[in-house]
Structure 1
Amino acid sequence: MTRPFTYPSFILLLCVLPASVYGQSDETVDLETVSIQGDQTSNDRISSQKLLKVPGAGNDPLRAIESLPGVVFSNGNRSEPAVRGSSPEDNAYIVDFLPVGYIFHLDSSSILNDNVVEGFTLEAAAFGSEYNNATGAVIDADSRLPYQDRDQLVVDLSLLKAGIFVENQVTDDQAFYLSARQSLFQYYIENFLDDEDFEFTTVPEFYDYQGKYSWRISDTETVSAQIIGARDKGGLLFADDSDQVLQDPGLEGGLRFEAFFNSQGIVWDKFYASGLSHTLGISQLEEKFAFGIGFNNRIDVKVNSYNLRSQFSCPIHPHHELQWGLEYDEAHIGYKGRFDAPPCDEFEPDCRIVDGTETITGSGKPIVRTWYANLADVWSVTPAWTLIPGVLVSTDDYTDQDFVEPKLNSRWEFHRNWAFTSGYGQYHILPDNFGSYTPEFGNPELKQPTADHYEIGLEQSLSDDFVLGELFWKVELYYKTLEDIIIGRPPQDPLYSDLSVEQYNSLPRYTNDANGKAWGAELFVNKNLTDQWYGWLSLAYSRTERKDQLTGERFRYNYDQPVVVNAVANYQYNRDWQIGFKWRFQSGQLVTPLEGAVQDEDNPALYNPIYGNLNSERLPAYHKLDVRADRTFIFQRWEMDFYAEILNLYGRSNVVDYEYEGADYSNREEVTDLPTIVSFGIKARL
Structure 2
Amino acid sequence: MKRSTTFLFLSSTIVTFATASQAEEIELDKVTTQAPAVTESQPETRKLLVVPGAGNDPLRALESLPGVVFGKGNDARPAVRGSSPDDNAYYLDFLPVGYLFHNDGSSILSDSLTDEFQLYPAAFGPEFNGATGAVITAESRSPLRDSQQIIDLSLLRAGFLIDQPVSDDQGFYLSGRMSLFQYYLENIVDSDDFEFTTVPEFYDYQGSYEYRPSDLTSVRFQFVGARDKAGLDFTEESDFTAQDPALTGGLEAQQMFNSQGVVIDSVSPSGLSSRIGISHLEQAFDFTLGEGNYIDANSHRYGIRSEFSYPLGLDHEVSWGLEYSERLVDYRGLFKAPPCDEFTADCRLVRATETLQGSGTLRIRQTDLFIKDTWSVTARWQLIPGLHLSDDSYTGNQYVEPRISQGYQLTDALRWTLGYGRYHSMPANPGQYTPEFGNPDLDETRATHYVTGLEAQLRDGLMLTTELYYKDITDIIVARPSDTSDGVRYNNDASGRAFGIEMLLNADFSERWYGWTSVTLSRTERSNDRTGEDFRYSYDQPLVINMVASYRASDIWTLGLKWRYQSGQLVTPLEGAEEDPDTAGLYNPIYGDPFSERLPSYHRLDFRADRSFRFSNADMDLYFEVINLYARENVVGYRYLNADYSEREDVTDLPPLASVGVRLLF
| TM-score, normalised relative to structure 2 | 0.94
CA distance in 1, matches of 2:485, 2:210: 55
- Which residue type is aligned with residue 366 of structure 2? T
**Partner SS for 1:245:** helix
Letter in 2 for 1:482: I
2:69 partner letter = V
Q: Find the aligned partners of 1:172 and 1:259 in 2 and give their Cα distance.
A: 39
Q: Within 1, Cα distance between the matches of 2:540 and 2:465?
A: 22
Aligned residue type for 1:473:
L
Which of 1 and 2 has greater Rg?
1
Aligned to 2:104: 107
Q: Look up the match of 1:220.
A: 216
Superposed, 1:108-187 pairs within 5 Å as: 108-148=105-145, 150-187=146-183
Question: Cα distance, 1:44 vs. partner?
Answer: 2.0
Alignment of 1:417-456 (within 5 A): 417-456=413-452
| 1:15-59 deviation line (CA, Å, top 9, x unaligned) | xxxxxxxxxxxxxxxxxxxx6424545632322211121111111
One-letter identity of the residue aligned with 2:212: R
Query: Post-superposition shift, 1:251?
Result: 1.1
Quick one: which of 250, 254, 264 aligns to 1:254? 250
- More moved, 569-578 vs 131-140: 569-578
Pairing partner for 1:263 from 255, 259, 265: 259
The answer as to 2:225 corresponding to 1:236 is: no
Q: Secondary structure at the match of 2:176?
A: strand
Does the aligned pair in 2 maintain the 1:111–1:230 contact within 8 Å?
yes
Aligned equivalents of 2:70 and 2:83: distance in 1?
Answer: 12
Inter-partner Cα distance in structure 1 for 2:262 and 2:627: 40
Amino acid at match of 1:298: Y
CA contact (8 A) 1:155 1:163 kept: yes
Contact 2:456-2:464 within 8 A present in 1 as well? yes
Amino acid at match of 2:127: E
Amino acid at match of 1:87: S
- For residue 114 of structure 1, give the secondary structure of its aligned residue in structure 2: coil
| CA–CA separation in structure 2 for the residues paired with 1:426 and 1:658 | 37
Task: Give distance in 2, aligned partners of 1:93 and 1:528.
Answer: 29
In 2, distance between residues paired with 1:540 and 1:223? Answer: 41
Q: 1:486 aligns with which of 467, 477, 488?
A: 477
The separation in 2 between residues aligned to 1:587 and 1:361, in whole angstroms, is: 42
**1:537-552 aligned within 5 A:** 537-552=517-532
Q: What is the one-letter code of the residue matched to 1:105?
A: H
Is residue 144–residue 170 contact of structure 2 (8 Å, CA) maintained in 1? no
C-alpha displacement at 1:320, in angstroms?
2.2
Residue pair 1:357, 1:505 contacting (<8 A) in 2 also: no
2: distance between equivalents of 1:312 and 1:303?
A: 29
Q: Does 1:88 align with 2:85?
A: yes
Which amino acid letter does the alignment assign opposite residue 602 of structure 2? Y
Is 1:43–1:526's contact at 8 Å kept on the other side of the alignment? Answer: no
Query: Which residue of 1 is the match for residue 487 of structure 2?
Result: 507
Q: Which moved more, 1:392-401 or 1:311-320?
A: 311-320
Which residue in 2 is equivalent to 1:623?
603
Whether the 8 Å contact between 2:192 and 2:237 is mirrored in structure 1 is no
The C-alpha deviation readout for 1:266-297, integer Å capped at 9, x for no partner, is 00001122221010000000001122221122
In the TM superposition, residue 417 of structure 1 has moved relative to its aligned partner by 2.2
**Identity across the alignment (%):** 54
Tell me if structure 1 keeps the 8 A contact 2:29–2:45: no
Larger RCO: 1 or 2 (CA < 8 Å, sep 6+): 2
Counterpart in the other structure of 1:557: 537
Name the structure 1 match of 2:15: none
Query: Structure 1: which 5+ runs fail to align?
Result: 1-34, 492-500
Q: Deviations over 1:610-659 (max 9, x none)?
A: 11111000000000000000011001110100000011000000001111
> What is the alpha-carbon distance in structure 2 between the residues aligned to residue 366 and residue 617 of structure 1?
40
- C-alpha separation between the residues in 2 aligned to 1:268 and 1:355? 53
Alignment of 1:374-413 (within 5 A): 374-413=370-409
Question: Residues 343 and 509 of structure 1 are in contact (CA less than 8 Å); yes or no, is this contact kept in structure 2?
Answer: yes
Partners of 1:453 and 1:549 in 2: CA distance: 21
State the alpha-carbon separation in 2 of the partners of residues 272 and 37 from structure 1.
Answer: 21
Looking at structure 1, the residues matched to 457 and 223 of structure 2 have their Cα atoms a distance apart, in angstroms, of 39
Match of 1:470 among 441, 458, 461: 461
Q: Could you tell me which of 160, 164, 185 is aligned with 1:189? A: 185
* 1:4 paired residue number: none
User: For this pair of structures, how many residues does the alignment match?
Assistant: 635
Question: Separation in 2 of the partners of 1:666 and 1:505?
Answer: 35
1:591 matched to 2:571: yes
Deviations 1:240-280 (A, max 9, x none): 22111000111111122111000000000011222210100
Match of 1:37 among 26, 29, 45: 26
Task: Provide the C-alpha distance between the structure 2 equivalents of 1:125 and 1:577, rounded to a whole number of angstroms.
Answer: 37
The residue identity in structure 2 corresponding to 1:489 is R
| One-letter amino acid of the counterpart of residue 224, structure 2 | I
For 1:481, what is the secondary structure of its paired residue?
A: strand
Distance in 1, matches of 2:313 and 2:149, equals 47
**Corresponding position: 1:603 with 2:583:** yes
SS in 2 for 1:530: coil
Shift of 1:323: 0.7
- Paired residue for 1:98, among 95, 99, 108? 95
The question of 1:272 aligning with 2:268 is answered yes
Question: Structure 1 residues 477 and 76, CA, compared in 2 at 3 Å: closer, same or farther?
Answer: farther
C-alpha separation between the residues in 1 aligned to 2:623 and 2:657? Answer: 14
What CA distance in whole angstroms lies between the structure 1 residues aligned with 2:294 and 2:347?
A: 16
Q: In structure 2, what is the Cα distance between the partners aligned to 1:589 and 1:413?
A: 39
- CA deviations over 1:318-356 (Å, ceiling 9, x no partner): 442101000100001100101110011111101110000
The one-letter amino acid of 2:551's match is Y
SS in 2 for 1:400: coil
User: Which string of whole-angstrom CA distances, capped at 9 and with x for unpartnered residues, describes residues 132-189 of structure 1?
Assistant: 01000000110011134x3211000000000010011212210000000000000001
Which one-letter code corresponds to 1:320 in the other structure? H
Matches within 5 A, 1:277-426: 277-426=273-422
- 2:18 is matched with none
Question: 2:186 is paired with a residue of what secondary structure?
Answer: helix
Residue 32 of structure 1 corresponds to none
**Equivalent position of 1:57 in the other structure:** 54
User: What is the TM-score normalised by the length of structure 1?
Assistant: 0.91
* Alignment partner of 2:619 out of 636, 639, 644: 639
